[in-house]
C-alpha cells in the first residue's frame, strides 16, 4: 500500500457514514444505533449471544445437505454467467466469454471458463475415445484414456486466451468481458507431451506435430516440435476435476502461452511431420495480412497484456474516496515482471502490487490503492513481462500492423470514469 494515511482516512469516512445511515434505516433502528454508539445495548444482548437483529434466515434451518450433489452458485449470482453474443454463427465461430469484471483472483471457475468452438461441442464417451500418434515416429501408437492416465502426470496453472481478443475496430464492447473475456486461467493436469512422443520415438526430420480435434470441424493446427518437447501437455483435468465438454473432454492439447485455438480440444490425433499442414485454421484464419501485403502466419505466442477489471466498463464508483484498482496481467513468454497503472490518462504511472505466487504463463492479479477525487479520470494498466517486453498502446500497435490486422491485439485499454462514477470504455 502506498498511501496508508489516505486509505485509513477514506475508510473511516465511509464507515462512519455507514454507521449513521444504517442506524436509522436499514437494519431496524434505534436499538442498533444506540448499541453501536455507546456499546450498552449490545452488552445486554450479548448475554444470550445474539445481536439485537436476527435475520429471517437464522430463524429456521437452512437447506439440507444433499440438495446439491454437485454445487452451483447462489441464486443471487444468477447474472454472473458466460457472455455470449447474439446471432452467433454457431458452427463456424461460436464464442462465450468469461465475465472477468465479476471475478477475483486468478483462477477461473470451470463453469465460467471461456469457450470458442468451430463445430459445436461434441459429447464424447471417454471409453470410446482414442488418441492416435503416427507420422515420423518409430512406433505409431493408439492410446485409450486409461493408457494416458497411466503415464506420469503433472499439474500447472496456465492461462488460455483466444488470439482474436479483442478486435482492433469499433464496436469494441463495453465491459472487460466484451473486450478480453476470451481469456481464462485454470490448474491443468495431464501428461507431458514430450514423454508421449518419446514413447513413440521421433524420427529424423520430425519438425512439426499436426494436432486434430474430434469435433465436427476436425480442427487442425500445426505445432513446432520445439514446443512439443518443451512444456506442452496432454491434459485431462482442469481445476481438479475432469475437463468440461466445452474444454475438450476427455483430452486436450495444452500449449502454455500459445494462442487458444492451437490448444486442440477433444484431441484425437497427433501426426509428426516435416512440414506444417497449412490447415484452414492457420491460413484463412489465425493468420494476418500485413501492410506490405505479406501474410504474418504462425503467430503462436500471446504477448504481454493486462486489463483493469475493477473498476471497469459497466461498473460505477459509489462515491469519491478510496477505491482499489485491480486487474489481471499475463504473458505467453513467461512471468509478469511488473504492472504499472496510470490514473491520469497516461501522463504518469505507478507500479502496482503483484499478488503472489507469480507463475509463468498464468494470470497475475495486480492491485493499486487509489483515492478518487470525484472528478473525471482515465485509468489504464501496462504489463511488462520477464523478457522486458512492454505492453503497447493501441495507436502504437495499429501503426505497425495496419488496417487489415485482426489477431493478437494486446493493446493497453483505458477506462474512462465520469464525475458520476460511471465507468466506460475510453476508446468506444
Quote the least distance from Cβ 256 to a copy of itself, whole Å. 14
> Whose Cβ is closer to a copy of itself: residue 68's or residue 284's?
68
> Whose Cβ is closer to a copy of itself: residue 355's or residue 393's?
355
Whole-angstrom Cα distance, residue 303 to residue 412? 12
> Whose Cβ is closer to a copy of itself: residue 273's or residue 411's?
273
> Whose Cβ is closer to a copy of itself: residue 81's or residue 419's?
81
Kindly provide the b/e burial profile for residues 82-91, where b requires at least 16 CB atoms within 10 angstroms of the residue's own CB: bbeeeeeeee
Quote the least distance from Cβ 307 to a copy of itself, whole Å. 15
Whole-angstrom Cα distance, residue 121 to residue 238? 17
Quote the least distance from Cβ 280 to a copy of itself, whole Å. 10
Quote the least distance from Cβ 63 to a copy of itself, whole Å. 4
CB atoms inside a 10 Å sphere around CB 306: 28
β-sheet bridge partners, residue 385: 336
CB atoms inside a 10 Å sphere around CB 185: 26
> Whose Cβ is closer to a copy of itself: residue 321's or residue 392's?
321
Whole-angstrom Cα distance, residue 341 to residue 379? 7
β-sheet bridge partners, residue 119: none
> Whose Cβ is closer to a copy of itself: residue 250's or residue 414's?
250
> Whose Cβ is closer to a copy of itself: residue 103's or residue 397's?
103
Kindly provide the b/e burial profile for residues 341-359, where b requires at least 16 CB atoms within 10 angstroms of the residue's own CB: bbbeeeeeebebebeeebb
Supply the DSSP symbol for 58.
Answer: G
Quote the least distance from Cβ 19 to a copy of itself, whole Å. 6
**Alpha-carbon distance values, 228 to 67, 189, 197, 209, 231 (Å):** 44, 16, 8, 8, 7
Quote the least distance from Cβ 291 to a copy of itself, whole Å. 32
Whole-angstrom Cα distance, residue 369 to residue 386? 24
The residue whose grid cell reads 488496417 is: 403
Supply the DSSP symbol for 9.
Answer: H
- Nearest to residue 109, comparing CAs of 238, 9, 264, 206? 238
> Whose Cβ is closer to a copy of itself: residue 117's or residue 227's?
117
Asked whether the beta carbons of 329 and 336 are under 8 A apart, the reply is: yes
Quote the least distance from Cβ 290 to a copy of itself, whole Å. 28
Helix axes 30-38, 4-24, angle to 10 degrees: 140
> Whose Cβ is closer to a copy of itself: residue 188's or residue 405's?
188
Quote the least distance from Cβ 77 to a copy of itself, whole Å. 5
Quote the least distance from Cβ 274 to a copy of itself, whole Å. 13
Pair type for strands 131-135 and 267-273: parallel
> Whose Cβ is closer to a copy of itself: residue 71's or residue 171's?
71
> Whose Cβ is closer to a copy of itself: residue 67's or residue 294's?
67
Quote the least distance from Cβ 139 to a copy of itself, whole Å. 8
Asked whether the beta carbons of 46 and 39 are under 8 A apart, the reply is: no
Burial class (CB in 10 A: 0-12, 13-18, 19+), 55: exposed
CB atoms inside a 10 Å sphere around CB 369: 18
Q: In what order do the strands lie in the sheet with 336-342?
A: 350-351, 336-342, 377-385, 415-417, 423-425
Quote the least distance from Cβ 269 to a copy of itself, whole Å. 6
Residue 327 C-alpha from the chain's centroid: 11
Amino acid at each position: 500500500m502506498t498511501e496508508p494515511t489516505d486509505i485509513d482516512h477514506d475508510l473511516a469516512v465511509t464507515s462512519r457514514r455507514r454507521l449513521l445511515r444504517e442506524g436509522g434505516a436499514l437494519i431496524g433502528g434505534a436499538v442498533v444505533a444506540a448499541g453501536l454508539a455507546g456499546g450498552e445495548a449490545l452488552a445486554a444482548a450479548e448475554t444470550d449471544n445474539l445481536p439485537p437483529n436476527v435475520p429471517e434466515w437464522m430463524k429456521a434451518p437452512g437447506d439440507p445437505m444433499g440438495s446439491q450433489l454437485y454445487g452451483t452458485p447462489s441464486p443471487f449470482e444468477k447474472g454472473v454467467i458466460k457472455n455470449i453474443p447474439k446471432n452467433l454463427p454457431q458452427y463456424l465461430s461460436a464464442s462465450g466469454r468469461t465475465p472477468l469484471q465479476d471475478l477475483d483472483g486468478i483462477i477461473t471457475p470451470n463453469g465460467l471458463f471461456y469457450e470458442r468452438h468451430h463445430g459445436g461441442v461434441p459429447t464424447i464417451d471417454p471409453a470410446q475415445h482414442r488418441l492416435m500418434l503416427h507420422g515420423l515416429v518409430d512406433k505409431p501408437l493408439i492410446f485409450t484414456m486409461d493408457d494416458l492416465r497411466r503415464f506420469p502426470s503433472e499439474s500447472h496453472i496456465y492461462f488460455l486466451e483466444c488470439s482474436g481478443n479483442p478486435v482492433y475496430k469499433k464496436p469494441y464492447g463495453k465491459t472487460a468481458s466484451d473486450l478480453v473475456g476470451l481469456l481464462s486461467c485454470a490448474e491443468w493436469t495431464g501428461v507431458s507431451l514430450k514423454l508421449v512422443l518419446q514413447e513413440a520415438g521421433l524420427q529424423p526430420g520430425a519438425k512439426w506435430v499436426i494436432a486434430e480435434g474430434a469435433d465436427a470441424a476436425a480442427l487442425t493446427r500445426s505445432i513446432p516440435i520445439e514446443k512439443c518437447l518443451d512444456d506442452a501437455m496432454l491434459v485431462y483435468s482442469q481445476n481438479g476435476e475432469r475437463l468440461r465438454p466445452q474444454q475438450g473432454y476427455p483430452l486436450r492439447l495444452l500449449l502454455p502461452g500459445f494462442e487458444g485455438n492451437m490448444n486442440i480440444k477433444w484431441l484425437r490425433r497427433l501426426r509428426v511431420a516435416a512440414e506444417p499442414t497449412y490447415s484452414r485454421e492457420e491460413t484463412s484464419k489465425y493468420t494476418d495480412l500485413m501492410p506490405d501485403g505479406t501474410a504474418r502466419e504462425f503467430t503462436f505466442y500471446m504477448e504481454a497484456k493486462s486489463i483493469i477489471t475493477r473498476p471497469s466498463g459497466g461498473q460505477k464508483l459509489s462515491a469519491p474516496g478510496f477505491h482499489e484498482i485491480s486487474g489481471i496481467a499475463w504473458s505467453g513468454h513467461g512471468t509478469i515482471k511488473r504492472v504499472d497503472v496510470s490514473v491520469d490518462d497516461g501522463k504518469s504511472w505507478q507500479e502496482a502490487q503483484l499478488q503472489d505466487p507469480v507463475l509463468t504463463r498464468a494470470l497475475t492479479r495486480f492491485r493499486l490503492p487509489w483515492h478518487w477525487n470525484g472528478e473525471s479520470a482515465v485509468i489504464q494498466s501496462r504489463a511488462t513481462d520477464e523478457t522486458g517486453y512492454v505492453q503497447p498502446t493501441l495507436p502504437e500497435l495499429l501503426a505497425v500492423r495496419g488496417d487489415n490486422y485482426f489477431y493478437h491485439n494486446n493493446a493497453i485499454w483505458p477506462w474512462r470514469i465520469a464525475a458520476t462514477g460511471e465507468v466506460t470504455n475510453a476508446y468506444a
